Amino acid sequence: MLLSRIAESLYWMSRYLERVDSTARLVEINLLHLLEAESAIGEAAEWRPLLAICGKEALYTGTFGSAEITGPRVIQFLMGERSNPGSVRNSMRLARENARAVRDRISREMWECVNELWLRYQELLARPPIPERAVAHCRTLRSEVARFHGHTSSTMMRGEAFGFYLLGMFLERADMTARIMDVKYHLLLPDLALVGSPLDYYQWAALLRSLSGYEAFRRRFPSLRPLDVADFVVLDGDFPRSLRFAVDRMAQALARVGSARADSPSARAVSELSELLAKSDGSALFEAGLHEFLQRFLAGISDLHGALQREYFEAHLGDAACTT
C-alpha cells in the first residue's frame, strides 16, 4: 500500500532533480561549444535555442522585455531566475520540498543529498552568474544529482515507491531528449536533402554531448551523419538518454507499481509510446518528418503524465476508487 501523496511526491522529487541535471547540462554544453566555435553566429542565435528547448521563450520575454538575448541573461534565467518555475534553482527547491514530504520513505543518504544540494547552491544561483564560472557550477550540480541517484540505487527498496521514482526520472528525461532533438535538428539541418551528408562536426558533437552520448555514439557509428544521430538518440535501447531506453524503463516501472484497473490508462499511454517507437527506424523518422514524430512523442509523454495523475495520484476520485 502506498499513499497517493507519497507516490506523487516521489515522482516530482525525481522529475525536478532530472530537470536540474538536464538544464545544467544544456547550459554547460552551450558554453563549451561557444568557446570552441570558430565563427560566431551572433549571441542571440547562440542562446535562443536553449529557451526554445525549455519551452520558455514567452516567459523570457515577459521577464526581460524586448532586451536582447544575451548569454548572461539566458544563463541567469535558466539557472537562478525566481520567476522561472523551471529554473535550476526552483527545481532544486521543489525537489527538496517533495523529498521532505517523503522523508520517512527515502533513505537518510537520499535526503541528505537533496538537502545539501539546496543548502549549498541556492545562494550561489540567486546571484547574477559569472559565465566563466558557470561551466564549473553546472558540472558540480550534475555530479550532485548523480550522487543522489547512486545513493538511491544502493539504498532504496525495489517496491512500488521505487517505481514512482523511476517514472518521474524517465518521463522528465524523455521529455527533455525529445525537445533537444526537435530544436537542434531544425537548426542544424535546415534542408532535409542534406540528411545523408556529413555536416558541421562540432555542432553535432555538441548535441550528442548535451545528452552525454558522444563517446558511445562514436563507438557505434563511424561518422556523424544526421540519420545516425537520430537513430541513436531516438531508438537505441542501450543508450541511457534515448527515447526508447526511457520508454522501456517506464514500462518496467509501471509493471512494478501495478494497477487496480484491468484497463490501466497509464499502461495504455506507455504502450502507445512504445508502438510509436516500434513503427520507426532511422530512415522512417525522416520520411514522415522528424519534427512531426517528436511532436507526437511529446504529446504521448504529456498523456502519460495525465494518466499517472488520474490513475495514481488522484486515485480516490476515480470510478474504481473503493477497494475495501
Partner 1 sequence: MATALAAPPSFGAAAYHEFYRDDFEPRAHYRPLWEHIRKAGQALLSDKVREAHLTLHTEGVTFTVYANSDEGIERVWPFDLLPRIITASEWAPIEAGLAQRVRALNRFLEDVYGEQRILRDGVVPAELVYGGRDYRREIRGIRPPLGIYIHISGIDVVRGADGGYLVLEDNLRTPSGVSYMIENRIVERRTLPEFFARYRVRRVEHYPALLLQALRELSPRGGQDAVVVLLTPGVYNSAYFEHTFLAHEMGIELAEGRDLVVQNDVVYLKTTHGLQRVDVLYRRIDDDYLDPLCFRPDSTLGVAGIINAWRAGNVAIVNAPGTGIADDKAVYPYVPDIIRYYLGEAPVLRNVPTWRMTVSDERERVLGDLENVVVKAVSESGGYGILIGPQSTAAQRAEFAAQVRANPRNYIAQPVIPLSRHLCYLDGELESRHIDLRPFVIQGREIHVVPGGLTRVALTKGSLVVNSSQGGGSKDTWVLSDAALADR
Residues in touch with partner 1 (CB under 8 A): 1-5, 7, 100-101, 103-104, 108, 160, 164, 257-260, 312-313, 315-316, 318, 320-324
Q: What's the closest the beta carbon of residue 310 comes to partner 1, in angstroms?
A: 12
Look up cell 550540480; give the residue. 141
Which one, 177 or 266, has the nearer CB to partner 1? 266
- Assigned C-alpha cell, 15: 522529475
Which one, 35 or 317, has the nearer CB to partner 1? 317
CA–CA gap between residue 305 and residue 196 (Å, rounded):
35
CB 263 within 8 A of CB 210: no
Which one, 39 or 154, has the nearer CB to partner 1? 154
Which one, 66 or 324, has the nearer CB to partner 1? 324
Which one, 3 or 299, has the nearer CB to partner 1? 3
Which residues make Cβ contacts (< 8 Å) with residue 237, sequence separation at least 6? 244, 245, 248
Q: What's the closest the beta carbon of residue 119 comes to partner 1, in angstroms?
A: 12
Q: What's the closest the beta carbon of residue 87 comes to partner 1, in angstroms?
A: 23
CA–CA gap between residue 11 and residue 313 (Å, rounded):
10
Q: What's the closest the beta carbon of residue 174 comes to partner 1, in angstroms?
A: 21
Cβ contacts of 98-105, under 8 Å, gap ≥ 24: 98/9, 98/10, 98/12, 98/13, 98/16, 99/9, 99/13, 101/5, 101/6, 101/9, 102/6, 102/9, 102/10, 102/13, 102/161, 105/6, 105/10, 105/161
Phi and psi, residue 69, nearest 5°? -80, 115
Q: What's the closest the beta carbon of residue 300 comes to partner 1, in angstroms?
A: 22
Q: What's the closest the beta carbon of residue 54 comes to partner 1, in angstroms?
A: 30
Which one, 103 or 186, has the nearer CB to partner 1? 103
